[in-house]
Amino acid sequence: MVCPASRISRTRELNEAHSSDGKRFHDLNFTYVRAFYTVAKFKSFTLAAQQLNVSQPTLSQQVKSMERQYGFPLIKRNKKIVRLTQEGEVILPYVEKIMQLAREMDREVEFLHSENLKIATTPTLSRYLLPGIVLKLKERNPDLKVQIYTGLSTEILEMVLDLDCHLGVTGRVPYPEQVIFRNVFRPKLSFISKDIEKDRIHLKELAGYPVLFPEEGSATRAYIIEEFRKRGIPLNIHMVCENPSAIKHMVHLGMGGYFCPYYAVEEEVREGKFRCVEVLDDLHLTIDLIYLSDWKRSKVVRMFVEVLFEQALPWTSPRRLSRSEGVFAGLKC
């Protein structure tokens, strides 16, 4: 274990060494850095060599080359276990940052030139919105591969931030500054129930009524809870379920009611599984397209946005979005 005072002292020595010898920094070899990082991660030359698909002597030589560059040992070697020296402990956090930046760089370059489009969205939107858009994309670009990942609104945001997906289509949640968001449409929320006989109701009439909700992290859930709170209406969260289809089946069984856009229940309403009640209060869910600014240069992202703009969504108003609003605001095409 490295004493904190010793670590600070050694860090200062390293900084001074780098300040007086710029060549040492410029000669840094990524192969050596990766070798040291992998050995430190696995605490084994054997496992690290297997991970990097190199021979153990080659890996050992790469680590020694990095040690020669710095002028001191970074790893204590013995037959049983690998330990870092004081200098190795000081250098490791910086090496970890270098490796993280390298991974991010590779992913960004791959995303920009990829023929794969990765989309994050909610289960409901993946069924009712995206199929038509993906169909048009594939008609224009037969070689394009599309991958759709589903989750809660907060999970979709994380997938975009972590570069796991090019873009997301989701109910609005608070976004950090680096996320660009464009409103796609604002569907009105209805209330489905098995036993409410009225065609139209005010929200206050649902005071204490058993309501079924998606999990925490859902934009719809957060929005409805806030609307009840603002109006001072008692809300009975009767049950929570992650699966929209399961929630609709529970409504069919008379276990409670559920807030959702009409397009998500139109088929079941026609089949008589439950009734769709119009809520007279202004309840509209904001659906956004979200992406990071760098993806404006991505060919596949631009294709998706173009098709999204052209597609007439049957559950929106007849007026199409113009290029000065909606998904194209701030995006040059």
CATH code at 168? 3.40.190.10
Residues 178 and 259 in one domain: no
pTM listed for this prediction: 0.63
Residue 333 lies in a domain: no
Pick the last residue of a domain from 106, 127, 160.
106
Write out the DSSP string of 257-286.
BEEEEGGGTHHHHHTTSSEEEEE-S--B--
The predicted pLDDT at position 114 comes to 59
**Binning pLDDT at 50, 70 and 90, where does residue 253 land?**
very high
Residues 12 and 100 in one domain: yes
CB contact set of 195 (below 8 Å; sequence gap of 6+)? 254
The predicted pLDDT at position 25 comes to 52
Residue 89 lies in a domain: yes
Residue 174 lies in a domain: yes
Domain that holds residue 206: 189-279
The predicted pLDDT at position 333 comes to 29
Q: Which of 184, 183, 185, 182 is nearest to 296 (CA)?
A: 182
Residues 9 and 93 in one domain: yes
Residues 180 and 222 in one domain: no
**Binning pLDDT at 50, 70 and 90, where does residue 36 land?**
very high
**Binning pLDDT at 50, 70 and 90, where does residue 2 land?**
very low
Residues 200 and 318 in one domain: no
Residues 96 and 44 in one domain: yes
Residues 158 and 296 in one domain: yes
Residue 88 lies in a domain: yes
Residues 207 and 270 in one domain: yes
Pick the last residue of a domain from 84, 106, 128.
106
Residues 264 and 202 in one domain: yes
Which residue(s) pair with 302 in the sheet?
none
